[in-house]
Structure 1
Amino acid sequence: MKIRLLMPSVDPQSRLQFTVSVLIDEHIAIDTGGLPYLGCIDAQRAVDHVLLTHSHIDHIGGLPLFLDNIYAPSPECPSVYAGEATWKCLEDHVFNDQVWPNLERIAGTEFPFYRKQIVDAHRPIKIAGYQVTPIPLEHIVPTLGYVFESETGSALFAWDTAPFLEFDKIVQSIPNLKIIFLDASFPNQMQWLAEKSLHTTPGQFQRQIEHVAPDVRIIAVHLKPGFHDQVSQELNSLGMSNVEVACRDRVYEI
């Protein structure tokens, strides 16, 4: 499994996470913030599966552009996976002929823009050789994280979430867990905002992972751009060798 972050920026050296999305093995994306800006069109057309965590704009906003970028009048199209609440938001407020055309109406069933897949928490599905299990997170709208399991190891993707009670139980249940991508949005002094927006601070981050095995890599994601340096410093000050801030030019391989 090869994982890299898609963090759009006009400055290729920027460390800022304006949006959060990842690409797995060049063919699977989780969230779409950086997806429509992924290199050439052929690289975008290689993405066969898109999983959405929730309906907030920094996670779904790239989906209409991505689908428009890669469309060809063909039966072949990407599958898009999301929870029922996220799909309702997309259909009511995005693909509604006002914010963006209703792609199902335009293309019909012969040459679709995408194939709609509804996923449920704790119900595993098979995607490109992986067992993928959606897990419920703690956020303002219904939000899912995803566990990817393979023969070489497992990965947990859990961003846009406040600390939640099931975290330890979920982590302990994942076989051969190698890496966790976990929310760390606001600096400690802004815990009040993290609590209201259901995100996480470095202090909460530390308490949440205290029972995670030290050989599991923990990648902090969703650092708010305006506080990136401060949050990074607070994470580094934890002194935990298995914790690192997500980097756009790194491939995380397990």
Structure 2
Amino acid sequence: MELRILGCSGGIGTEMTTTSLLVDGDILIDGGTGLTELELDEMKAIRHIFVTHSHLDHIAGIPMLLDSVFDYIREPVVLHARAETLRALKDHIFNWQIWPDFSCLPSADAPVLRFEEMKPGERIQVGNRSIEMIAVNHAVPAAGYRVQNGVGSFAFSGDTTSNEGFWTALNRHDALDMLIVESAFPDEDRELSSKARHYCPGLLAADLKKLRHRPQLFLTHLKPGSEERIIDQCRDQIEFLDVQRLCGGDRFTL
């Protein structure tokens, strides 16, 4: 299983794009501005998009992606998300005001996009990959995902703060090779972090003690300008795991 990090920053700027993960070339997890890293042929190969939540930094690239591949799609791209996320996308993005409704273009019988509701705890099989949705605690209804094939597994928290469900769900499995988890703010912004329902190093360190696995740990969604401070604070408090910073362009084989 090949994992390519298209974008993972908490903001935009030179060499910074927002969250989007590509699995084996045909599965996207989130569709932020990191999608601009793909060539057209790579965009055409995407068949499934699993969205964590409706915030703009995680979905901004999806409308443009669909527009770019419109003439080449013979079967709809399937967008999987919680019911609340699908409703937000339909009401506020694919509503003909902000962007065309690709779920009925070029026709309702043969659309470019198909929405498919996914519930927390549900697993979907795509080829030899099993994708499990896990509810998390964020400012809007949100989810993380655990992805597994016959050889390896990784989990992505999406945007979240302190919770029990994500860690309980991961502990139900026998193994976890890689964990990508957010830590958006440094500890001095803990009050803001709690209001926005994001992790800061102290909150993340406390929650990681709930995990019985010892995976590779990569931090994502770091606020621009605070990256090194967040990483240093996490390393000071998470002594039982090797803390690494996730970067756009990273590639992993599981």
Q: Given the two structures, how large is their TM-score scaled by the length of structure 2? A: 0.91
Quick check: 2:134–2:166 contact (8 Å CA) kept in 1?
no
Residue 153 of structure 1: aligned partner: 152
Indicate the SS of the match to 1:121. Answer: coil
CA positional deviation for 1:74 = 4.7
Note the 1:26-105 alignment, pairs <5 A. 26-72=25-71, 74-105=73-104
Instruction: Give the Cα–Cα distance (whole angstroms) in 1 for the partners of residues 85 and 241 of structure 2.
Output: 36
Give the CA deviation at 1:10.
6.7
Counterpart residue identity of residue 66, structure 1: L
Deviation of 1:159 after TM superposition, in Å, equals: 2.1
Q: Which amino acid aligns with 1:36?
A: L
CA contact (8 A) 1:54 1:86 kept: yes
Partner residue, 1:242: 242
Q: CA deviation at 1:241?
A: 4.5
Q: Which moved more, 1:67-76 or 1:235-244?
A: 235-244
Shift in CA distance, 164/215, structure 1 to aligned 2, threshold 3 Å: closer
> For each residue in 1:62-92, what CA deviation from the matched residue of structure 2 results, as whole angstroms up to 9, or x when unmatched?
1100100111265323211111111111111
Identity of aligned residues (%): 26
C-alpha separation in 1, matches of 2:7 and 2:115: 25
Q: Is the 8 A contact 1:4 1:251 kept in 2?
A: yes
Give the 5 Å matches for 1:203-214: 203-213=202-212
Q: Is the 8 A contact 1:73 1:111 kept in 2?
A: no
Indicate conservation of the 8 Å contact 2:52/2:81, yes or no.
yes
Cα RMSD of the aligned pairs, angstroms, is 2.0
Map of 2:200 onto structure 1: 201
SS in 1 for 2:42: helix
| Structure-to-structure mapping, 1:81-230, within 5 angstroms | 81-213=80-212, 215-230=214-229
**Cα distance in 1 for residues equivalent to 2:38 and 2:96:** 28
Helix, strand or coil for the counterpart of 1:225? coil
Shift of 1:144: 1.0
TM-score under structure 1 length normalisation? 0.91
Query: Residues 168 and 102 (structure 1 numbering): CA distance in 2 closer, same or farther, change over 3 Å?
Result: closer
Cα pair 1:50 1:78 within 8 Å, conserved: yes
Compare 42-51 and 230-239 and name the one that shifted more.
230-239
SS in structure 1 of the partner of residue 177 of structure 2: strand
Contact conserved, 1:155 with 1:178, CA < 8 A, in 2? yes
Q: Distance in 2 between matches of 1:190 and 1:70?
A: 41
Q: Shift of the alpha carbon at 1:226?
A: 3.4
* Structure 1 gaps, min length 5: none
Residue 4 (structure 1) shift: 1.9
* Residue in 2 that maps onto 1:2: 2
SS at the partner of 1:99?
A: coil
Q: Output one character per residue of 1:140-177: Cα deviation in whole Å (capped at 9) or x when no partner.
A: 11101111122112211102101102233222112321
1:10/1:231 Cα in 2 relative to 1: closer, same or farther (>3 Å)? closer
Equivalents in 2 of 1:142, 1:66: separation in Å? 24
3-state secondary structure, aligned to 1:76: coil
Q: Distance in 2 between matches of 1:199 and 1:135?
A: 16
Q: Is the 8 A contact 2:6 2:22 kept in 1?
A: yes
Worse-superposed segment, 108-117 or 188-197: 108-117
Shift of 1:5: 1.2
Aligned partner letter, 1:247: C
How many residues are matched? 250
2:7 alignment partner, SS class: coil
Cα drift, residue 103 of structure 1: 2.1
Change (3 A) 1:190 1:28: same
